[in-house]
Amino acid sequence: MSDQTLTAAQLDSAKRAGETAALVVVSTSLPASLASIPKWVKACLRNVAEANAVGAGEATQNFSTTFTVGFSLGSLATLVSLLRKPEEKIHPAVVKAWMDHYFAAYFATVKNYMPFEIPQNFLGEFALQVVSVYIACSTEQRSEFQRGMAVSLSAEKNLRGDTPNDTTLTPIYFELLFYWREVTAMKSLPEVFKFLEQRFSDSPAVLGDFERFRKAANRLELSFRESQASPMNGQG
């Protein structure tokens, strides 16, 4: 396969990441528009929005601030980092293709819940904003730009669960949010847990045992009629 061709998994991740990012933005700026979204998904959104960065709310309140431009650039860097493993070398064209699909899903989702005009040359306008920070902006504005980037870049360790002595449930919430439609169609908590075991196969300690997941699900009010079944049912 060509280095410039997205794999099916990368294409899927781009679309899901775009939708997820859009839902987080909508949940912090116009939560009432998410009335049709399941309650537990909204709970995931609140958690991820808070863990994503302390300044996420600040960034979504005003899209024209220097802080938000820096925050947005940092978010793009985080997305590219999440796209690959450290040892992988990905052709720039693959990153571009991934970002194209990401933005397509992002804007489609945002427009679905928050209709507004999107600039035809959004990425070009964004690039000009970034450059202008270092050409025309004051020292104070540059500091705000850098603060936005730093705040956003801190998100990766929270979403991956890489913080020292990590006890956060955020990586679990993030994964549930990423696959919320599939999870909604499942029949029991054990079934969801088995699915998450596959997703966390390279970092099982982050997921933990079924009891840890059950407590996380209770906090989200994620439940199914069959959830009273033994956690060992169907798990061998």
Show the tokens assigned to 152.
């956003």
Domain parsing of the chain, residue ranges = 8-160, 170-228
Tens of pLDDT, residues 101-135? 888 888 888 888 877 666 556 666 666 766 676 67
Q: Between the CA atoms of 90, 71, 110 and 100, what dihedral angle is there, to the nearest 10 degrees?
A: -20
pLDDT at 215 over 70: yes
**What is the spatial distance between Cα 36 and Cα 176, in angstroms, rounded to a whole number?**
17
Predicted confidence at residue 234, as pLDDT, reads 40
Predicted confidence at residue 231, as pLDDT, reads 42
Task: Find all residues with CB under 8 Å of 231, minimum gap 6, and list them.
Answer: 189, 190, 193, 210, 211, 214
Record the pTM: 0.70
Predicted confidence at residue 81, as pLDDT, reads 64
Q: What is the arithmetic mean of pLDDT over 151-178? A: 69
Q: What is the arithmetic mean of pLDDT over 164-171? A: 63
Nearest to 30 by CA among 108, 115, 117: 115
Tens of pLDDT, residues 58-94? 555 555 677 777 777 777 666 666 555 555 566 777 7
16-25, 138-147, 177-186: which is most confident: 177-186
Contact between 137 and 53 (Cβ < 8 Å): no
Show the tokens assigned to 191.
């079934």
**What is the spatial distance between Cα 207 and Cα 61, in angstroms, rounded to a whole number?**
33
Lowest mean pLDDT among 38-47, 67-76, 142-151, 199-208: 67-76
Q: Where is pLDDT greater, at 22 or 157?
A: 22
Give exposure, 93-108, as e/b (b: 16+ Cβ within 10 Å).
ebbebbbebbbebbee
pLDDT averaged over the chain?
Answer: 75
pLDDT at 176 over 90: yes
Q: Where is pLDDT greater, at 194 or 110?
A: 194
* Three-state DSSP class for residue 164: coil
Predicted confidence at residue 188, as pLDDT, reads 93
Show the tokens assigned to 69.
């431009």
Show the tokens assigned to 23.
């839902």
In the block, residue with structure tokens 């970092």 = 203
Using CA of residue 224, residue 226, residue 231, residue 233, what is the dihedral sign? Answer: negative
Distances (CA, A) of 139 to 59, 128, 145: 20, 18, 10
Predicted confidence at residue 214, as pLDDT, reads 93
